[in-house]
Amino acid sequence: MPKTDTGKVELLEHVASTLPKYQSIFQISNEDMETVKSDAVNLRHAHTSHHQVQNYAHHWTAYKNQLLDGGGGDVSWPVAPVIDPHISPTVTPGVIARLSSLVARIKAHKNYTTAIGQDLHIIGAEIVLDTASWKPALSVKYIAGHPVIVWSKGKAGAIEIWADRSDGNGFSFFTINTEPDTSDNTPLPATGTGINWKYKAIYRLHDEQVGQWSDVLSILAGG
């Protein structure tokens, strides 16, 4: 299975356009064929719209920074993207899980051959990890008075940690680590002040957040 969102979109589109000639060979129902086609259309639409909106946000950021700090460049407001509403009805979440299941079914069929797999671009396809339930479990230990956030990696690529220093700013990005554990060497509050610090984290895989945020870990810093 491709690692990038773009690769997954392209594979699904290719399978949707190529599979019809093999429908009877693998006894694939018309309903399943329509599902593959609808999944491909919806995923492409979501992928394209996501990039359009991201670019729009980046343009607004640049415009806002120019207003704040000055500088040359276009001073007109960013133009909002036009999102095409004419797509097939929305589909049930789990597009890649359905594709993985279909690929496994095809490859297990008695009529499957390497040549067909190459034509469908499914050679080497693997069942995608179910990352939806991944949730970091955080605990703390101390080294020289500084907190060390303890966590386990599992099959994740990294962990993203956010911290709240009780300074009125709420949670803000702290760090991304690829290996446990994570030391927080932020200057400690004065001894005896006992300020509450909080942490939360989420796993990352292929440079994207996956799964669920951890429960908030609360510690007393400088106590």
Amino acid at 121: H
Rounded distance between C-alpha atoms, residue 221 and residue 64, angstroms: 36
Stretch 209-217: mean pLDDT: 96
Cβ neighbours for 14, distance < 8 A, ≥ 6 positions apart: 120, 121
Domain ranges of the chain: 5-120, 139-221
pLDDT band per the 50, 70, 90 thresholds, residue 73 = low
pLDDT in tens, 94-130: 999 999 999 999 999 999 999 999 999 998 645 556 7
| The CATH fold of domain 139-221 | Immunoglobulin-like (2.60.40)
pLDDT at residue 129, as a whole number: 67
Stretch 54-58: mean pLDDT: 84
Q: Outline where the chain has alpha helix (H).
A: 5-18, 30-69, 95-108, 114-120
Mean pLDDT of the chain: 88
pTM here is 0.51
Rounded distance between C-alpha atoms, residue 147 and residue 159, angstroms: 17
Which has the closest alpha carbon to 222: 201, 204, 195, 183? 195
